[in-house]
Amino acid sequence: MMDATAFHGIHGIVYALFDAGEKLDRVAMRRQVECCLASGVHGMAALGLATEVSKLTFDERVAVMEWTAEDVAGRVPLGFTIFGGSVAEQIAQVRAAEQNRADWVILQPPMVGSFGAGEYISFFGRIAEATRLPVGIQNAPAYMGRGLTADEIAELVTRYPNIRLLKGEGPATDIRGVIERTQGRVPVFNGRGGLELIDNLRAGCAGLILAPDVIDHAVRAYDAFRAGDEAEAERIYQTILPAIVFVMQSVESLICYGKRLFAARAGLTVHDRGPALRPTAFGLELVERFARELGPLGR
């Protein structure tokens, strides 16, 4: 079991890539992991919002775990987001993650009902107590409609020591508040497609978990920042910011256009699993332009 404090950097989280029949495409999924690893990512993850986890059956989620673990082959830390509406459902997926060599798991709040903070804290805690893996919590109220405050997160990690990481989805100012309230006891990762990438690092984030559309540039920006060259880190970030803003208008936009931007850079074709946001002709023009400006990925 890895020490959670060793987790850092840019972690790639995979898109769900489908074939023309709307089935998961094994070859394309392998290509995606290879592109991320070739970009120098510091970790890999799967089954988050970018992976359209709510559209996948339980067996498909397990298949994504198996494929990602096979393709990563222990070269970088591997995390799986755990989705489900009950403690039992999430624990079953944690067991699958354990069997597929996960280094950590990230628990999503149940997407059913609406409860107080105490209920969510108890929900997360019961699952965390069922595994020896380091556990992270995905706190994304803007995208998921539910979440915890900085004070509630501080209570959560105090009550359940096995909760050793946090996956936030919010402004750098909010993330800084969480880091301060938890007194730096747990590594905090942000996402949001890389928005405020450098300011997140200044706020104290251990890193970011990003879909792979601009992953290679994000890795270079992170590495420059960690080497003390903030000017270079900012320069790289400024080159990718227009593309990030384009794809991060919503989760649906990320899945529609972010996936297509990645595919255009990686030489893949996108097939949607409906229901899905469909691209407009102008949106595809923007994808083509950003792909050309950012250059090929993994080639």
Q: Two tokens at 6?
A: 């060793």
Q: Please state, in angstroms and rounded to a whole number, the distance separating the CA atoms of residues 35 and 43.
A: 13
Give CA–CA dist 6/29, Å, rounded: 27
- What does the alpha-carbon distance between residue 105 and residue 94 come to, in Å, rounded to a whole number? 7
Entry field: residues in the chain? 299
Query: Exposed/middle/buried for 118, CB within 10 Å: 0-12, 13-18, 19+?
Result: exposed
Considering the chain, what percentage of its residues have pLDDT values greater than 90? 84
pLDDT in tens, 24-69: 999 999 999 999 999 999 999 999 999 999 999 999 999 999 999 9
Tell me: the pLDDT tens digits for 174-211?
999 989 988 888 899 999 999 999 999 999 999 999 99
Tell me how crowded residue 184 is: count the other CB atoms within 10 A of its CB. Answer: 9
Q: Which residue has the tokens 């949106």?
A: 283
- Which domains are assigned to the chain? 4-294 (3.20.20.70)
Helix, strand, coil shares of the chain, percent, nearest 5, are 55, 15, 35
Segment (H or E) for 154 = helix 150-159
Task: Give CA–CA dist 160/126, Å, rounded.
Answer: 9
pTM for the whole structure: 0.95
Q: Are 181 and 154 in contact (CB under 8 A)?
A: yes
| DSSP code for 86 | S
- DSSP single-letter state for residue 275: S
Does the CA dihedral 182-208-135-52 come out positive or negative?
A: positive
pLDDT per residue as tens digits for the range 264-296: 999 999 999 999 999 999 999 999 999 999 999
Mean pLDDT of 215-223: 98
pLDDT in tens, 121-171: 999 999 999 999 999 998 877 777 777 888 889 899 999 999 999 998 889
Q: Is the pLDDT of residue 299 over 70?
A: no
Q: How confident is the model at residue 244 (pLDDT cuts 50, 70, 90)?
A: very high
- Residues 6+ positions from 134 with CB-CB distance below 8 Å: 1, 2, 4, 7, 103, 104, 105, 162, 164, 165
Confidence of residue 94 (pLDDT cuts 50, 70, 90): very high
User: What residues are paired with 18 via a beta bridge?
Assistant: 24
Q: How far apart are CA 7 and CA 123, in angstroms?
A: 25
Tens digit of pLDDT for each residue in 9-28? 999 999 999 999 999 999 99
**To 5 degrees, how large is the angle CA 51–CA 54–CA 56?**
75
CA distances 177 to 99, 110, 205, 217, Å, are: 35, 24, 11, 27
> What is the spatial distance between Cα 77 and Cα 75, in angstroms, rounded to a whole number?
7
In the numeric block, the tokens 């794809």 are attached to: 247
- Rounded to whole angstroms, the maximal C-alpha distance in the chain is 51
